[in-house]
Amino acid sequence: MITALRELVEKSPRAGFWKCFDRLRAKRRLWNHKRVYRVYCALRLNLPRRTRRRVPTRLRQPLLAPNALNQVWALDFMADALYGGRKFRVLNVIDEGNREALAIEIATSIPSRRVVRVLDELVALNGAPKALRMDNGPELIAEVLVEWCREHEVDPRYIQPGKPDQNAFVERFNRSYRDGVLDAYVFGSIEEVRRISEEWREDYNWERPHDSLGRVPPLTFLPRPTASRESTLQLST
């Protein structure tokens, strides 16, 4: 009985007691259900069981810096909390061509539809990219975002699970943003986070030297035709 139960649970880890019992009966194991349940509990199979999250297989994504704008945009999420303990999330979008911070979206929740809305605003302002580089988070593999990529003829380049180095440009941006904003201030409200983040984003794009760009800011290294100091604040107004 112990062997039979363990084999069933290994094959179907989400199955409960009655599913296991019915399978045993189907195999002509005519044990009494009370006796089976005692063994089932003794094996601690009645407790919640951890299962591995199914992650899609992805091809390795080579990380090469494009020599033009709107070739590849990189997306990634961050998380932090206000002084009172309220948690919030951050969606960062950068252009890999010049490492420009296109958007820093901040909210208590950023579902896939909000991601699409941010992308629509960026496309209206800058034009559509040829590809999006992102990880396998639930908001980024959702059908609504996949459909958006299909409609705009954008190639979704998902990195391999557990390989953040394949999205290194935005990961490096995340570190700068955390050092310069999230770890540098104690925030009392979401509005305060947004205001300080937008001021930091403008400085990052226009003033802050970038070591890998020859110690010049992103919009000096590779100017964007539609970019101006006024347009950098457009998404926040």
166-204 residue pLDDT tens: 999 999 999 999 999 999 999 999 999 999 999 999 999
* Amino acid at the residue 120: D
The CA distance from 154 to 137, in Å, is 18
**Band of residue 229 on the pLDDT scale cut at 50, 70, 90:** low
What distance separates the 2 farthest-apart alpha carbons in the chain?
77
- Between CA 228 and CA 234, with CA 231 as vertex, the angle to 5 degrees is 165
Contact between residue 218 and residue 99 where contact means Cβ atoms under 8 Å apart: yes
User: What is 72-236's CATH number?
Assistant: 3.30.420.10
pTM of the model: 0.74
The radius of gyration of the chain from alpha carbons, rounded to an integer in Å, stands at: 24
Least confident of 10-14, 139-143, 209-213: 10-14
More confident residue, 170 or 230: 170
How do the domains of the chain map onto residue ranges?
A: 2-42, 72-236
97-135 residue pLDDT tens: 999 999 999 999 999 999 999 999 999 999 999 999 999
Task: Please give the mean pLDDT across all residues of the chain.
Answer: 91
